Amino acid sequence: MFRTTYSLSSFTERIMLVDDDHSIRHLLNRQIATFGLETDQAQDGTEAMELLKNRQYGLVITDLVMPKMDGMELIQHISKHKPLTDVLVISGQNNSHNFSSLIEAGATDFIKKPFSIDELKTKLQRIFRERRLFNDLQQAQEQESRSFLGLVESLAISLSEKDPYTHGHSKRVTDLSLLLAKQLTDVDVDLELLRLCGMLHDIGKIGVPDNILAKPDALSAKEFSIIKEHPDRGTYILRPIERDAKGLTISKVIRHHHEHFDGKGYPCKIKGEEIPLMSRIIAIADSYDAMTSDRPYRKSLARKHALEEIKKNAGTQFDPVLAKKFISFMQNTVKPGAAKASSRVLLPVVRRNRIISAN
Ligand SMILES: [Fe+2]
């Protein structure tokens, strides 16, 4: 296998030494300094956790048997709260933990005391080389993901351009979704992800024929069933980004933006909190924008009446808690027309008598 030589001094992240024996910390510190690396020191797990609160460490080198908090507990803490920090365990022969239990707990590697300087150096080189490879891989994936998301965003714009009725719809749905998400104080919503989901929620309509998308008259049952395929089509288009955790979330949110809170939506008929939170947010913004936008065969609803429709369908079509928040902030903070359609929005004309669905 091809291996590059790794210079320890090229490692720029900080190292923490954790050992209750001052002389061992001192020895390790001196040795590691000869590699061109800097360290901080802690005498047990509790002190180490304090340091970890204030600084990002690339590597923690720890003993196992220590007062207050032992090494095993520290490894588990780092594994849970600082997953990007490597842990090298240095311990004597007489400990109750075997190598596999340490790795299972989240340690990166183990050195048994007594050890030689060469052994320490080799372990550090291996850990740092793997970190570099991991970082390179992650950067490449992030770059790939960014490029792809940029491309998909362009597709969303293309979708808006495809039909005059859709122009601006995705943007307004995004703006309203972000406004609603900012009202939620008890949950954390990733606003950047939500923005992308809003922009892309109807990306699956790229696969719907123009003559159906732009049809000004009533759709046949067959045409409507084709329109209803768009959440699944969107997921199909976004499959390449599903390797990325954020990409997978976007794909799921888009797939479920037409589910109803009572389970009577589509495509999966999931209900309540089974529906991703961002899908439930977009569903409200989407329907509101649909109702307040002019359509080929009728004028838009006044904001007051659109909000009444949202209220009427809270708990059946919409998440009742989100619907309440949406109505409240729209009534109290958003000026009439702030997120109103600047042009007509694409709305299939099926169910003309019930305009609450954006389809
Ligand atoms: Fe849709």
- What is the rounded CA–CA span in Å between residue 336 and residue 347? 22
- What is the rounded CA–CA span in Å between residue 158 and residue 22? 65
CATH number of the domain encompassing residue 286: 1.10.3210.10
State in Å: Cα 231 to ligand 1 middle: 7
Considering the domain boundaries, does residue 355 fall inside one?
no
State in Å: Cα 349 to ligand 1 middle: 14
State in Å: Cα 170 to ligand 1 middle: 10
Q: Where are the alpha helices (DSSP H) in the chain?
A: 22-34, 45-54, 71-81, 99-105, 117-162, 169-182, 191-200, 210-213, 221-227, 230-237, 245-255, 277-291, 303-312, 320-332
- What is the pLDDT, as a whole number, of residue 182? 95
State in Å: Cα 202 to ligand 1 middle: 5
- What is the rounded CA–CA span in Å between residue 151 and residue 153? 5
Same domain? 99 vs 178: no
- What is the pLDDT, as a whole number, of residue 348? 30
Q: Which two tokens stand for residue 12?
A: 């720029």
Same domain? 51 vs 174: no
CB-CB contact of 4 with 27 (8 Å): no
Same domain? 231 vs 302: yes
Cα–Cα distance list, 114 to 60, 66, 119, 120 (Å): 19, 17, 10, 11
- What is the rounded CA–CA span in Å between residue 66 and residue 63? 7
CB-CB contact of 113 with 91 (8 Å): yes
State in Å: Cα 267 to ligand 1 middle: 11
Same domain? 119 vs 169: no
- What is the pLDDT, as a whole number, of residue 48? 92
State in Å: Cα 358 to ligand 1 middle: 6
Sign of CA pseudo-dihedral 30, 31, 35, 40: negative
Same domain? 132 vs 167: no
Same domain? 94 vs 200: no
State in Å: Cα 229 to ligand 1 middle: 9
State in Å: Cα 135 to ligand 1 middle: 37
State in Å: Cα 93 to ligand 1 middle: 62
How many independent structural domains does the chain possess? Answer: 2
Considering the domain boundaries, does residue 348 fall inside one?
no
State in Å: Cα 213 to ligand 1 middle: 12
State in Å: Cα 258 to ligand 1 middle: 6
CB-CB contact of 281 with 299 (8 Å): no
State in Å: Cα 187 to ligand 1 middle: 24
Considering the domain boundaries, does residue 154 fall inside one?
no
State in Å: Cα 154 to ligand 1 middle: 18
Same domain? 174 vs 308: yes
Taken as a whole, the chain contains a residue count of 359
- What is the pLDDT, as a whole number, of residue 355? 40
State in Å: Cα 142 to ligand 1 middle: 28
CB-CB contact of 340 with 356 (8 Å): no
State in Å: Cα 356 to ligand 1 middle: 12
- What is the pLDDT, as a whole number, of residue 122? 87
For the chain of 359 residues, list the mean pLDDT of each consecutive stretch of 10.
Answer: 59 88 91 89 92 91 86 90 90 68 86 86 86 81 75 71 70 94 92 90 83 80 90 86 82 96 96 97 96 74 93 97 95 62 33 43
> How remote is the C-alpha of 148 from its chain's centroid?
15
Same domain? 287 vs 188: yes
State in Å: Cα 226 to ligand 1 middle: 12
Considering the domain boundaries, does residue 310 fall inside one?
yes
Same domain? 204 vs 87: no
State in Å: Cα 222 to ligand 1 middle: 17
State in Å: Cα 24 to ligand 1 middle: 63
CB-CB neighbours of 242 under 10 Å: 15
- What is the pLDDT, as a whole number, of residue 126? 86
- What is the pLDDT, as a whole number, of residue 67? 82
- Degrees, nearest 5: CA angle 234-228-210: 75
Same domain? 84 vs 172: no
Q: Flag whether the pTM goes above 0.85.
A: no
Same domain? 263 vs 216: yes
Same domain? 39 vs 172: no
State in Å: Cα 121 to ligand 1 middle: 57
The domain of 103 spans 8-136
State in Å: Cα 359 to ligand 1 middle: 5
Query: What is the DSSP annotation of 75-86?
Result: HHHHHHH-TTSE
- What is the pLDDT, as a whole number, of residue 353? 32
Residues near ligand 1 ion, CB 5 Å cutoff: 202
Considering the domain boundaries, does residue 149 fall inside one?
no
CATH number of the domain encompassing residue 37: 3.40.50.2300
Considering the domain boundaries, does residue 142 fall inside one?
no
The burial class, CB within 10 Å (0-12 / 13-18 / 19+), for 271 is middle
Considering the domain boundaries, does residue 158 fall inside one?
no
Considering the domain boundaries, does residue 116 fall inside one?
yes
User: Tokens 């990166």 label which residue?
Assistant: 108
